[in-house]
Every structure is written in structure tokens, then in C-alpha cells.
Copies of this chain bind each other. A is one copy, B any other.
Amino acid sequence: MNKLLIVGTVAFDAIETPFGKTDKILGGAATYIGLSAAHFNVKSAIVSVVGDDFPQEYLDLLTERNIDISGLEIVKGGKTFFWSGRYHNDLNSRDTLDTQLNVLADFQPKVPQEFTTSDVVLLGNLHPLVQSSVLDQMTQKPKLIVLDTMNFWMDCALPELLDVIKRVDVITINDEEARQLSGEYSLVKAAAKIQTMGPKFVVIKKGEHGALLFHDKEIFFAPALPLEEVFDPTGAGDTFAGGFAGYITQSENISFKNMKNAIIYGSNLASFCVEEFGTQRMERLTNQDVLSRLRQFKALTQFDIVLEE
């Protein structure tokens, strides 16, 4: 079975949306990525850190899905990273109410021996130095390295971010971040410029407006599934990345053609994530649900205009 190494936060989130609010619930990029990638036939591991306030049931939730957590450090007497945010009425923007780094402040990632030869590495949104440190520990060149990041690191750690971006094959960022990173408004131009920074593949996430995959002169677009109601967008981007990386790891194929399928799987999984608060929907998502929605994605996008050669 192919190996997928996941790096990212494991956290407590407190979320407010127009539909309600939660107390501290399970969150974090690596959590969402792990739950999403668990729908593929891969051996995955999470490298992260929590405090000893992190409940056993949350750890069980990961191990029950065959996610290796030997690289998930538990700091005695430490407190788990906490994020709290409030979404605006359109759910397209949010305010951060509180961020407590806690054990994340001094995090030194340690990749378990077995996963230093991972086929695919997904560097979830974290300080770029942490992302680089994980790559330094790989003893064998991964088939594919995927990096997710955000505008915060562009503002606060741009040189370190540019260093790690040089080392990856795929970058996933949202449209505003692509514009900020490239200085180009047009997403076509932005993606072209970002490809000169290192990654041969650029994925631009547009939330409810879908996602674009760029490579050289090729472009692929996956829509978001139109939903009756979006309850909570938290984790959608991570779930998307987890589906993308999970599918690539399983299929062992890093062609552009296969990445199209991976983008569709990512969008598929993300469409479930937003249906309920936090990880709730992902926790009880079945492979049958995913398959059924894949049919919806086909119906949504496929047409049969016949072109003569």
C-alpha cells in the first residue's frame, strides 16, 4: 500500500456561523486531511503536536481510520492549539476571534522512520520552516510533494515560504492568496508566475466557485457542488487537499490527466465537509456516499458535444 505523509495542525476549533455556534470541537488541517484521505486505499500518517488536554476519543477517531499517529507528539502539561472564528452571513469570509498557538509554538516535527520513504507528502498549512523540516527528514525523494499555505505566511514569513515553495510539485492556495503571491490579478497569469517559483502544478481554490488546476499551458476546472445549504466552511480546503493527495497516492499516477480526477475527488469530499459543523459530516461519511456524489459531479459537468477532428 502506498504511503501518504500528512503534516499539519491538530487542534481545537470554536466556530460561529449564521446557523449556530460550537464549543471547542476537533479541528486542524491535518485532522481534516486525514479524515479525507482515509477514503482511499493508502497508508497514511499524521505528523503534528497536541497537548495532554487532547481527548483520547479524538485520537481513537484517527487510529480507527488506520491513520498512523506515531508522529503525533503529545506534550505533557501542554495545551493543544486553539482557533476560534466567526463567519459572515455569506460564509465567504470570516473573522478570527482567538488564536492560541500553545504547543504549536515550539513544534519540531518528527517523521516516523517508516514514513521517511512516503510516496506522497502533503504539507498542510503550517509555518514554512516546519514544512521544510519535514522535507529534510525524507530519506527518499517522494513521487509528489503537495503544499498548502495561506496569506498569513506570505505576510509574516515570505522568504521561508518561498524556500519551501521551491521544493514542492503542487501548491494549493485560494484565489486571493494566488494574487498576493504572484502580484497578478488574472488567475491565469498568477498561476503561470507561481509555476516559475517551483511547483509545476498550481491548484487555485475558489471556495463555492470551485477549483482550478494549472500545469504549463493546460487548465482543468472542478466546480464545487451546488448545495442547498452550506453550514460551515471550516476545513473545506484541507478536506479538498486530503482528497486530492489521497487519490494520487492510491493511484500512483502524477500525470495531469490523473490529477484532474484527483481534483474532482477533492471537490467531492469537500462538498460533504461543509454540510455540518466541524468534522461531524466527515466522521460518518461512507465510501458509498462519495461514490454516489461522484455521479452527481459527472452529471454536473459532463456534456457530449461531438467534435470532428
* Chain A residues in the interface with B (C-beta under 8 A): 90, 185-189, 206, 209-210, 212, 218-221, 223, 226-230, 257, 260-261, 264-265, 291, 294-295, 298-305, 307
Cβ contact within 8 Å between B307 and A227: no
Closest residue on chain B to residue A247 by CB atoms: B305
Assembly CA distance A74 to B133 (angstroms): 74
Taken together as a complex, chains A and B put the C-alpha atoms of A226 and B300 apart, in Å, by 19
Task: Flag if B228 contacts A221 (CB, 8 Å).
Answer: no
- CA distance in complex: A223, B228 (Å): 20
* Nearest neighbor of A295 in chain B, beta-carbon distance: B307
A interface SS class: mixed
CB-based contact A219/B226 at 8 Å = yes
CB distance from A266 to the nearest CB of B (A): 12
Query: In the complex this chain forms, how many copies of it are found?
Result: 2
Interface centre among A187, A257, A260, A265 (most CB of B within 10 A): A260
For A188, give its contact among B188, B209, B226 (CB under 8 Å): B226
Q: Decide: B226 and A257 in contact? CB cutoff 8 A.
A: no
Question: Do B228 and A189 touch (CB < 8 A)?
Answer: yes
14 contacts between A and B (CB under 8 A): A186-B229, A188-B226, A188-B227, A209-B209, A218-B299, A219-B300, A220-B303, A221-B223, A260-B304, A261-B304, A261-B305, A265-B305, A294-B305, A301-B303
Task: Please state if B307 and A291 are interface contacts (CB–CB under 8 Å).
Answer: yes
- Residues of chain B lying within 8 A (CB to CB) of residue A300: 219-221
Question: A220 and B299: CB pair below 8 A?
Answer: yes
Chain B residues lying within 8 Å of A301, measured Cβ to Cβ, are 220-221, 301-303
Rounded to whole Å, the gap between the CB of A167 and the closest CB of chain B is 27
A298 CB → nearest B CB, Å: 7
The contact of A223 among B185, B223, B229, B261, by CB within 8 Å, is B223
- In the complex, which residue of chain B has the Cβ closest to the Cβ of A227? B188
